[in-house]
Each structure stands twice: as structure tokens, then as C-alpha cells.
Structure 1
Amino acid sequence: MFSIKSALAKPYAYFIKKSVLKWANNPVETQNKVFESLMAKAKHTQFGKDHNFAHIKSHADFVARVPVRDYEALKPYVERVVAGEPDILWKGKPLYFAKTSGTTSGAKYIPITKESMPTHIEAARNAILMYIAETGNADFVDGKMIFLQGSPILKEQNGIQLGRLSGIVAHFVPSYLQKNRMPSWETNCIEDWETKVSAIVDETLPENMTVISGIPSWVQMYFEKINQKTGKKVGEVFKNFNLFIFGGVNYEPYRAKFESLIGRKVDSIELYPASEGFFAYQDQQNIKGMLLQLNSGMFYEFIKADDFFSELPKRITIKDVALHTNYVMIVSSTAGLWAYNIGDTIEFTSLAPYRVVVSGRIKHFISAFGEHVIGKEVEQALKEAVEGTTVQISEFTVAPQINPTEGLPYHEWFIEFENAPQDVQHLANTIEKSLKNQNSYYLDLIVGKVLQPLKITIVKKNGFQDYMKSIGKLGGQNKIPRLANDRKIAEVLIEKNLTN
């Protein structure tokens, strides 16, 4: 059946693709313009005056005057903005604060300004339009779309709206998508996650769902409830569901489970959104990596992850990065963040255009013995270990066991299986082999008998959901860290009897 909406989507998608390629093909010039604009617009702010923005003419000047800061270091400025003072980090006051739960700083208040808010919306829109331009598939725009997100209810504090990023974004759904959007506003406002997902299932079952999006672990919960309620695969219930949009975590550990729940393969688009900015999105279906947003009011710097904790780590710009090197990403933006360490590590998979993958968190690693194991390595090891098998993983995390009751220390893998292996030790051996191939430090520690090979502890069905519920972080944008340099998560899993 002919649809005006899908017919119009295609020429619009080609128009957007042309505009995206214009800046993507001129990356250094694009970033230089962003940098100059940021310095000019913020020179009269309190932060700009304190750091002499008026006299910054180059990246070297910026490095000399503006140190890298994490949230804790920027907090004195943020607190003044939260108190209602204008012109502190950016001109005027921010429109919103995206409130997040920090692991070390307590609650974080990340400003979103009149200038930065549109970049979140445009990047999400462009990700879908680039998909349409590449595939020619626009039929899904006539169906219902859902994003599993936090509550859109906002609070006001000193004239600034306060809420979760996904809840804030819910207020900016374009008018042409309002009729397609699910769930209802009332359901979206339900705070309890399990109650909310059940209500979403009830609302969506009768609908023609074509696009489903969210963090994989929480979409999995939604899919499982559909299976339980209908006895059917998601792909049978939603016959026109053909596009899954996700972000927040690596999809690969979930892919086999998702294809089993759906009953068939569907196209997917990976996004890299954060409260600090919408950094990248997948622009090609068969090319690894996400297109870094160089034209969205964000100026990027990069520090090699191996050097990050040294006294004076070198800060480089986009023109000097290399492929397949683990970098900490530093951002300055129209939200009023300056040389801000967002905490993520990335690797470039392409330099023309610049595409990235998220390799982990600079604080989420295991190096209790100098092994420097990162998120990308544990995810790759697990992916290789289950390929070609019937084993399906629901969730996992890794922690060091420094003081075992007997034998050498080791890495303990806490894994919740959907389909468990017949031989858990064989799976552990396969993971171990991949880790040693990827990480020479880890290999040396095993060979040198500083560590013994990893061990797997099986987590009970829904154990990770129960863990998240126990710490008040079930649903929304919350996710399990893939690994940690301590045993905080491990101890709760064991104490609450969530392991076998």
C-alpha cells in the first residue's frame, strides 16, 4: 500500500546523507570550526574567564590552560549552575540537567543547553535516515515504534528542569512520529520497571510494531515477557518488526539470545548516546564502527588509555589518532563541559570517515596484578567461546579473586546462561585461550604463575535482574559493568544467594 510518509522519507534521507558526508569528509576543518566557536561563545562565562578563553588561539593554548577534569573536578562549577547562577559553564542557564547515578561521585548533574539539546535529537534522527539511505527500506516509518526508556517526569530546580536523559529526550519526539510512538505517556511515567514493562507488553501486543529500541538487557526482558504471555516468538507476534536500535552496551553477547527470542534476524543500528552528548551512530550496516559526530558542537581530544594515569599524558586531536589504539575520549561542548573525561575508552575502526567502537570504561577494567584487561577483551573472548555452540549468555560480569581459599588468585567470571554449556570447564578454557591471545600481560601472569586460569561461577536465572533490583537500578539506562577491579558486585551476588 502506498504511503506518503515512507515515500517522503527516502528523498529526505538522501538529503541528510549528503549533508552528513560534507562534514564527515572534512573532519579536521570541521573540528577546528567547532573549537573556534566554543572558545568564542564561552569566553565571557565564569569558566571562560578563569581559563582565559579570550587568549586561546590553538589546541596547544587550550591544553596549557584547561586541564582534563572528571565530574568530581568540575563539580564546584556545576554546583553553582545547579544553585541557579547564570553564565558559569555556558552562557545563561542550561535548559535541563540530566541526572545520572555516578559510581564514585554520587548523583551527577550533567547540563543540557539550548545549543546542545538539538544535537541529541538530530543524531538519533540521522542514524535512522542514514539507514534508509543505505538500504532503501522506509516501510517501518508507517508502523509503531518503541524506545524502552526512563520516566519522562521532570522536576524543576532553580528554574532548570531535572530528569533522566531518556526521559528528557521523550519530550522532543518529532510531531510526525507522535502517532507512531509507544508506549503511551501514562505507561512511560510508571516508575517501577517490572510493572512498566508488563504494561508495555499489554499496550504493544495488538500493535504493528516495526521498530524496537533500548538497552539490550532491558529489551530482552520485554521480549521474554512477550514470549511468556503469547507462547510465540517476537517475530511472529510483530510480523513487520525489522529494525532494532540499541545503545549503552555491546550487542554481540546478546545477539544469539535475541535471534532466538525473535525467531529470525533483524537489521540493527547501534547508537552511542550519553548524557554528555550523542557521540556516534552506526552509518553502514556491514562496516564495523559508528560515525563520530564531529559537527555537533563537541570538540574531541584523545589520550592513550595506557598513558592516562601518567603525570602528563599527551592530549591529541582527531588529526593525530591511529587505528586500533585504546583511547580515553575527552570532550568540550556547547553543554559547558570543558576537557571533560566522560570515562569511556574508544578505538578507531576507520579514519576516513572517523568511526569508533566503545572498548570499555577507563574505570571498568581489571588490573589487580598489572594485567590491564578491558571490556572489549572480555566481550571478544566470550563471543569467540560461544560461536558455533548452543550456549547462550543472558548477562555476565568479571571480578578479580585476590584472596582465594586455596591456590593462586584468578579472574572470576559470573555468568547467567540462557542455554548453559554441558561442560563449563571447556567454556572456561576457551575463554581463557582467547584472553591470552588478546592480552600479553594476562598471558605473562598465567605463564609466570602469578595467576591461575579463570573460573566461572554460574548466576541463577534472573540473578542479575535481582541484583539490579536490590541496588535500586532495575531498568532505564542502568546496566551491569562488564568487569571491575574490585569485588563489590561479586560480593552482593554471593551474599544474596544469586549464584549456584
Structure 2
Amino acid sequence: MGVKAWLSKYLAAYVHKKQQHWIQHPVEAQQAIFRKIISGAKHTAFGRDHTFGSIKTHADFVKAVPVRDYEGLSNYFNRIKQGEIDITWPGKPIYLAKTSGTTSGTKYIPITKDSIPNHINGAKNALLAYIHETGNAQFLDGKLIFLSGSPVLDEVGGIKTGRLSGIVNHHVPGYLRTNQLPSYETNCIEDWEHKLDEIIEETIDQDMTLISGIPPWVQMYFDKLMRQTGKQIKDIFPNFSLFVYGGVNFEPYRKKMFESIGRQVDSIETFPASEGFFAYQNEQNDKGLLLLLDAGIFYEFIPVEEYFNENPTRLTIGEVELGKNYALVINSNAGLWGYSIGDTVKFTSIKPYKLIVSGRIKHFISAFGEHVIGEEVEKAMQQTIQKFPTAELVEFTVAPFVSSGEGESYHEWLVEFSKAPNNVDDFEKELNEQLQKLNSYYDDLITGNILANLKVRVLPLGTFRNYMKSQGKLGGQNKVPRLSNDRNLAQGLLEVAKL
């Protein structure tokens, strides 16, 4: 065992012990964050506009600060981009994280001197939690790859601006930099396909032990490696032992990825976003993600069914229930206030507080009142794939197909397989039955002949990749929405596929 691995075990034990205080006193930890960030921002433009000086309780805060998304706060963000100071947090942000949001176009999210540790420590502590639980630290002695965006930063309003993954790349601890691949020069390549070719050249003969990235882009990396070598990943990287991912649900990709690897490896799910690093998986046998309650973020949770109400209920951590879907709202030392990040979460544990990401609040189909959400379509696909073991899924999305004829409208599933099921009709029937079991409203519409059974449209191999490339969203942290309430994405895919 190398020095890095040996020392990391002591650091992991120290961090684990330190975390126990807020884990065991979650409500108190959140109250302390609340008081600290309200006090910290009371002299900012936002704080003055929203009477932060008189806010004492969460009830006061709810009255003063409405829930808004990026567009709702854009007047403040625009002032930050123009170089003004003391707008939503004291001083200027040290970075603006540029992200092509699925609901808002290009967004510029402030990252402050106070909030950057949240991003860095979240990722670091996810690895340390794994080391503490499993005792496996040897991966730190090998090569580590983080498939990420370019670290090249521009300036907007005198503030360094770039993709979150590129920003974080500048803060990788020095003791890991000697292990990190790809090289800085390769990481700066903007074109994903060219970049991937260079990454393969740099890694194909290295002792890769940890691989991190969004599952579909990691799978693309694996596919190219296997085509080039004729080998499975386990034979290319025999010491590869840990896969770290976030951004999308891993389950639809799990089967193909582990078949590509050729054996099981441990994995860690994380919940990062430009707005903050919220949670990570801290136990291998528990898919729930530990919510970070002492990291400069005060959380609020809105029951999904109330989200579009004029005055929805806004719960704090001590008020949430197991198994309910909530829209996640954050307030933080990045200067985000009543900020709806667009994700929905469901708690799997309250001692400690653990959750799963269940979908996107604006990614649903409710063309007929069914309100089918991302969690349901992913689970339906996962359960169906298990019954068709020869099928290998690449990617999918779902859109409504509205017909003027009664009972002729349906959900269209646009699916790309690397290996299609032997009988697509049987696959389609099973998928429909699984969705009926998961969503009672959908079941009612099917049995009432208001909706026809879903239809699977099999897309040619490479359609999703070519579509994302056409949109300038190939690779990095970009991901395909699982659901749309219109046919814009579906039409784009069909045009690319020439169907």
C-alpha cells in the first residue's frame, strides 16, 4: 500500500468522526446554517430588498422570500454578471458556473469564496466515506480519471467563468494531481469526440483504478476502448476498482456498463450541481445518499403536488417524511435564495437523512392528467430490461403523442439499443404493464381507453449521440431529459435519425 492510500485511512477516520455531530443533530445543524447565511447576507442588495435584518425564523423567511428559479432571480444574477458587488452575497463571486440548463437555457450560477469548499469537500468526503467503510484505499495509488468539461475559464464582469467540472478541476488537491488523467492539455479540448480519442491515447496503457463521470459518457469511453483493443475493461485496466458518478440515474446504464467492464466494481453515487454539492452515497449496501446538512446550504422541501401552487408548503429538514416526493429548494452562501434547482428528491432514511434523486420538477408527462415522472419511467424501463436479458439499452426518452381520435393518443418511448430485444412488441407490452403498476393515473387512463398503450420507437444506434452533438451538448456534464411534456426533443431525435 502506498503512502497516499495509507494516510487516507487516517484522514477518512477523522472526517467520519467529525461528521457525526451534525449527522446526529440535523435540525440544529440546519438552524445554525440558516442563522449564519441570513446574517451574512443582510447587507447585500438581496438582503435589503427582502428585509433580512428582521428575519428571525423560517416562517419570517417564507414570508419575505418567495420560491423562484433562475429566471425569477435573473435581475440579481444579471447585476452580478455586470460586475456589481454585494448583490446576493458579500463582495463578488470568485466564479460563475456556466451551465446549459434543461429548463432555463444558459445559466450563470455564482460560486463564492464561502461556497467553493462545499463543492471540493463534497467530492473529497465521498471518497473518504468509501475508504472508511470498506478499507479500500489502494485506488489512490493508481491513476484516476475524471471525465469532465474543459478547465479553460473566460471572464464575465471580471469574474472567472466556466463549466463547474472545469472550475473544480482547478481545485483538485495537489497530492491527487500526479495521479490525475487526462492531461490538462487534453482536458482543454472542447470537441468531445476529439477529446475522447486523446483521453484514450493517454489512458489505454495506464493503471487506471478510479473512473468518474456521467454514465452515458463513461460508456462511450468504454465502447471506444473495447473497439480499439478487442478486450473488456477488466483486461485493459485490471486494477480498476471504483466508479464514481452523478447527474443521472445509473440503473438504466448499469447492465451494459458492467458487461463492458466484465466484472463488478464498487460505485459511489453523488448529487452535485452548479448550485452546490448536496449529497453522496456513504454506504455500499445503501442506495440512499447522505444529505450534507452543514455545508453552507439551508434546505427547503416542497411537496411535489403543491409545487405549482401560489403559496406551497415549504418544509425544513425536521418536517420531511419518508417516501414522499419533494421539490428541492436551497438557500446558500453562494447567494442563492429560495432557489428551486429543479430536482425532486425522496427520503429513504431520516436517521440519518438520506435521499434519492427522483426526477426533475419540470420533466414529466401530464398531457392527459397522468403526471408520469422520471422515477417511474426509469423504474419501468429497469424492470422491463431485467425480463429481456439479451437486450442492451443505450439511451431513451419519453414524449406524448397526441391524436385527435379518442383513445388514440399514447406515450412514445424513443429508445436506442446496442442490442434490441428479440421481440419489440413483447418488450413494449411489458413496459406498458410496468408503468401501469407504477402510476395509478396512467393505469386509469389506459383501462378507461382514454390513452392507448405506449409505443416503443427504436432509434438507430448513435441517434442520441448525434442529436446531442448537433445541440453542442456532447460529453461533459450534459444529459438527455428522460421526459418531456411536448414533442420538441422527440422531433429533434427523429430528424437526426431521419425517421
Do the two structures share a fold, i.e. TM-score over 0.5?
Answer: yes
Q: How far apart are residue 405 of structure 1 and its match?
A: 8.4
Secondary structure in 2 matching 1:12: helix
CA contact (8 A) 2:406 2:450 kept: no
Equivalent-residue separation in structure 1 for 2:301 and 2:97 (angstroms): 24
CA contact (8 A) 1:254 1:393 kept: yes
Q: How far apart are residue 489 of structure 1 and its match?
A: 1.1
CA contact (8 A) 2:103 2:362 kept: no
What is the letter of the counterpart of residue 97 of structure 2?
A: A
What is the letter of the counterpart of residue 116 of structure 2?
A: M
CA contact (8 A) 1:459 1:498 kept: no
Q: How many residues align?
A: 498
Q: How far apart are residue 392 of structure 1 and its match?
A: 1.3
TM-score normalised per structure 2: 0.98
Equivalent-residue separation in structure 2 for 1:173 and 1:104 (angstroms): 30
Match of 2:480 in 1: 480
TM-score normalised per structure 1: 0.98
Match of 2:491 in 1: 491
Alignment of 1:438-453 (within 5 A): 438-453=438-453
CA contact (8 A) 2:407 2:450 kept: no
Match of 2:418 in 1: 418
CA contact (8 A) 1:460 1:498 kept: no
Match of 2:400 in 1: 400
Secondary structure in 1 matching 2:497: coil
Match of 2:181 in 1: 182
Equivalent-residue separation in structure 2 for 1:370 and 1:236 (angstroms): 50
Match of 2:469 in 1: 469
What is the letter of the counterpart of residue 415 of structure 2?
A: I
What is the letter of the counterpart of residue 380 of structure 2?
A: A
What is the letter of the counterpart of residue 177 of structure 1?
A: L
Aligned pair 1:113/2:112, yes or no? yes
Equivalent-residue separation in structure 2 for 1:328 and 1:422 (angstroms): 39
Equivalent-residue separation in structure 2 for 1:313 and 1:65 (angstroms): 14
Equivalent-residue separation in structure 1 for 2:461 and 2:127 (angstroms): 35
Q: How far apart are residue 386 of structure 1 and its match?
A: 1.2
Secondary structure in 1 matching 2:170: helix
Equivalent-residue separation in structure 2 for 1:151 and 1:495 (angstroms): 29
CA contact (8 A) 2:363 2:481 kept: yes
Match of 1:387 in 2: 386
Q: How far apart are residue 437 of structure 1 and its match?
A: 1.0
Q: Which runs of 4+ in 1 moved over 3 A?
A: 404-407
In structure 2, runs of 5+ residues without a counterpart are none
Deviations 1:231-256 (A, max 9, x none): 00011000000100000000010011
Alignment of 1:24-35 (within 5 A): 24-35=23-34
Match of 2:149 in 1: 150
Alignment of 1:326-337 (within 5 A): 326-337=325-336
What is the letter of the counterpart of residue 101 of structure 2?
A: G
Equivalent-residue separation in structure 2 for 1:303 and 1:220 (angstroms): 35
Q: How far apart are residue 105 of structure 1 and its match?
A: 3.2
Q: How far apart are residue 403 of structure 1 and its match?
A: 2.4
Secondary structure in 2 matching 1:172: coil
Deviations 1:406-435 (A, max 9, x none): 961000001111221111111111111111
Deviates more, 1:201-210 or 1:304-313: 304-313
CA contact (8 A) 1:463 1:498 kept: no
What is the letter of the counterpart of residue 300 of structure 1?
A: Y
Match of 1:272 in 2: 271
Percent identity, aligned pairs only?
56
Q: How far apart are residue 4 of structure 1 and its match?
A: 1.6
Note closer, same or farther for the CA distance 1:105–1:382 as it changes in structure 2 (3 Å cut): closer
Secondary structure in 1 matching 2:408: coil
Deviations 1:87-111 (A, max 9, x none): 0000000000001113443321100
In structure 1, runs of 5+ residues without a counterpart are none
Deviations 1:285-336 (A, max 9, x none): 0012100111110000000111111222111101010011010000000000
Equivalent-residue separation in structure 1 for 2:488 and 2:404 (angstroms): 16
CA contact (8 A) 1:152 1:168 kept: yes
Deviations 1:319-374 (A, max 9, x none): 01001101000000000000100000110011111111111101100001110100
Aligned-residue CA RMSD (Å): 1.1
What is the letter of the counterpart of residue 280 of structure 1?
A: A
Alignment of 1:35-434 (within 5 A): 35-388=34-387, 389-403=389-403, 408-434=408-434
Equivalent-residue separation in structure 1 for 2:431 and 2:112 (angstroms): 45
Secondary structure in 2 matching 1:315: coil
Secondary structure in 2 matching 1:93: coil
Note closer, same or farther for the CA distance 1:404–1:252 as it changes in structure 2 (3 Å cut): farther
Deviates more, 1:380-389 or 1:39-48: 380-389
